[in-house]
């Protein structure tokens, strides 16, 4: 009887695992352009942000993107990311 319950629980776990990984879209490694402290920026997101810049120098844009993300991560760590003044300054300078 234990053996049957073991097989049923194993099959149920496998079904949940398979259902999750086949329905939730996960970015492929080839789709990730930049990774900043485990925060991935996909090719689609990168191109959308690059298109919003008027005169893009690609390397300068990448540097700006990295600095912006590092500042946001540091703000989250310090708990000031909810501060409206901080959010406004990030938006004005980096968007």
Q: DSSP for the chain?
A: -HHHHHHHHHHHHHHHHHHHHHHS----GGGEEEEETTEEEEHHHHHHHHHT-SS--HHHHHHHHHHHHHHHHHHHHHT-TT-HHHHHHHHHHH-
pLDDT at 86 over 70: yes
Establish if 79 belongs to a structural domain. yes
Number of structural domains found in the chain: 1
Q: For 15-69, write each residue's pLDDT tens digit.
A: 777 776 666 666 666 788 888 888 888 889 888 888 888 877 888 888 888 888 8
Establish if 68 belongs to a structural domain. yes
Residue 32 sits in which domain range?
27-94
């Amino acid at each position: 009887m234990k053996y049957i319950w073991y097989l049923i629980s194993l099959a149920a776990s496998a079904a949940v695992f398979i259902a999750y990984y086949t329905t939730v879209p996960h970015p492929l490694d080839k789709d990730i352009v930049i990774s900043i402290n485990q925060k991935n920026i996909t090719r689609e997101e990168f191109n959308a942000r690059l298109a919003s810049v008027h005169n893009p120098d690609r390397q300068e844009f990448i540097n700006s993107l990295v600095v912006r993300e590092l500042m946001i991560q540091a703000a989250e760590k310090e708990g000031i990311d909810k501060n409206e003044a901080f959010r406004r300054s990030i938006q004005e300078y980096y968007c």
